[in-house]
Chain A
């Protein structure tokens, strides 16, 4: 019987000929990623008393969660991270002018096919978009890797998601992923590895694939994986990485899947996740007319150049509704520069939007756009939990960049189609 991606890569990395679901293996990740929480990890690292970092090249730190610092406490937190980086000579450190961690890991070429990356952030799952194994871990575990280089992982069983058929025009990766999460629920892939495949996948950009891999954790998945293909290789080549720079791992064609789920992409219409859970999904048409106060475009889910282009196309020549704040956070400085060159910021600003610096911003309720009691926000992020954007009596809807831009103009939830 053949093996799934996760069974193959974990066996390879554990130095075993084969592993089975349920087995526990010890592996040495290529990278352990952390962000502003690196200060807390440093605190735990000190408690371990290792004296030195096992392998400084393995440590990858990107400051993004509250940048620039919103208060003295955040500033001190950043300061501790920089002290750690200097003291232990950490080469892979990116300060507050770089971008959201997951975007940076991918666009700087740390994520590659066949690599194994863990991160002290649940959306570390994103790197499966380019064929890596990546999963989120806790802070103590990150500190343990800094000290020992290793971590234990349980081999999960695998769910295969087949995205069959082609999506209708105006239906995005975000709509399909929200639809999938709505179908199987917040624990639909609990403890499982997920492989995405099917006809719709072969036509997807890397940006699209990141949306799926990123949100795998919203259905409980351990990792989300796309088999690397010409699209992946082209993306990497554009970043100066050719096929000698990685060893791709593919699932066997006769692999044993615990479950196979087939989604007809052609039957999906634009979706939203309603407050206060990501699996509370409905077609946009069902909630159309809901008044909004804020619209957010950005985050590690939908802050890429493709997303900004899509939003700008909707905003072009129009005005954001009175009493609506439109905030746009490019996911990285590279994207910011590109958007600037393409004139996207002009379009956004002329429409009445605000272009912010790359970072997480209000996505986790840290700063730069916290909601007031009773307010409603529509966002391209990945989570809409109670209190997520800093206020527990506010509500968050999740949608595609197109839907968020259209809603900002209409002042109420509205599909881009309906605006025309």
Chain B
């Protein structure tokens, strides 16, 4: 598992450039441009299960959901940050990308760290030490458990019809 570490205020324009927002609709293709203007090396070396660790206000700027989608489809398992911009955080919940707000872990994790995320118990192990993070609000748990907002609603509507 590789760890990509970035700073504060990483905005959605460098995660997924605006010039692609209406020209790319396939999530796999979106993934090929993930973090393009922040770290051109990222897409060349990212592998399934890698994680992104960042500072405060990750995902600030535009509401574009592709910023969450392109990271998810690049194979990244989770983004751990000191804080997230609110629309990006919602987009993560809705697209099933694990976004963990945990300043202590974001500080402690280095590129060489060994990291394990325990989703059930809302904690992260960094180099052997457990750190708790605030749970995803109970009231929106159903979206995550349903695999994201669209799959959740699809299931609901198909149940209604049958």
Interface residues of A (CB under 8 A from B): 24, 36-37, 39-40, 43-44, 47-51, 65-66, 71, 73-74, 77, 120-122, 124, 136-141, 143-144, 147-148, 152, 154, 186-187, 190-191, 220, 222, 277, 279, 364-366, 383, 385-388, 390, 392
Contacts and interface: CB of A to CB of B under 8 A. Distances in A.
Interface string B134-151: 000101100000001110
23 contacts: A24-B139, A24-B140, A37-B22, A40-B25, A49-B154, A50-B153, A73-B22, A74-B22, A122-B63, A137-B87, A139-B65, A140-B91, A187-B60, A190-B86, A220-B57, A364-B18, A366-B18, A366-B22, A385-B11, A387-B19, A390-B19, A392-B17, A392-B37
Given A187-B85, A387-B17, 20 more contacts: A24-B137, A37-B21, A48-B153, A49-B157, A50-B153, A50-B157, A137-B63, A137-B87, A139-B65, A140-B149, A147-B153, A147-B157, A220-B57, A220-B85, A279-B9, A365-B18, A386-B13, A387-B18, A387-B19, A390-B18
Contacts of B21: 37, 364
Given A220-B86, A365-B19, A48 B65 contact: no
Contacts of B68: 138
Contacts of A190: 56-57, 83, 85-86
Interface string B41-81: 00000000000000011001111110010000000000000
Interface in B1-44: 8-9, 11, 13-14, 17-19, 21-23, 25, 37
A66 B87 contact: no
Which of A50, A121, A187: most chain B Cβ within 10 A? A187
Contacts of A43: 25
Interface of B: 8-9, 11, 13-14, 17-19, 21-23, 25, 37, 56-57, 60-65, 68, 83, 85-87, 90-91, 94-95, 137, 139-140, 148-150, 153-154, 157-158
A151 to B, nearest CB: 10
Nearest to A45: B150
B94 to A, nearest CB: 4
Given A48-B157, A365-B17, A144 B149 contact: yes
Given A73-B22, A388-B13, A136 B63 contact: yes
A152 B154 contact: no
A387 B150 CA distance: 30
A365 B19 CA distance: 6
A136 B87 contact: yes
Contacts of A77: 22
Contact of B148 (A39, A137, A140, A154): A140
Contacts of B19: 365-366, 387, 390
Contact of B63 (A120, A144, A279, A390): A120
Given A44-B150, A143-B150, A138 B11 contact: no
Contacts of A141: 90, 94, 149
A49 B22 CA distance: 23
B63 A121 contact: yes
Given A49-B157, A140-B65, A385-B61, A191 B13 contact: no
Contacts of B140: 24, 152
B101 to A, nearest CB: 10
Contacts of B61: 122, 383, 385
Contacts of A365: 17-19
Contacts of A392: 17, 37
A277 B56 CA distance: 14
A66 B23 CA distance: 11
Nearest to A387: B37
Contact of B22 (A66, A154, A383): A66
A325 B58 CA distance: 34
B57 A191 contact: no
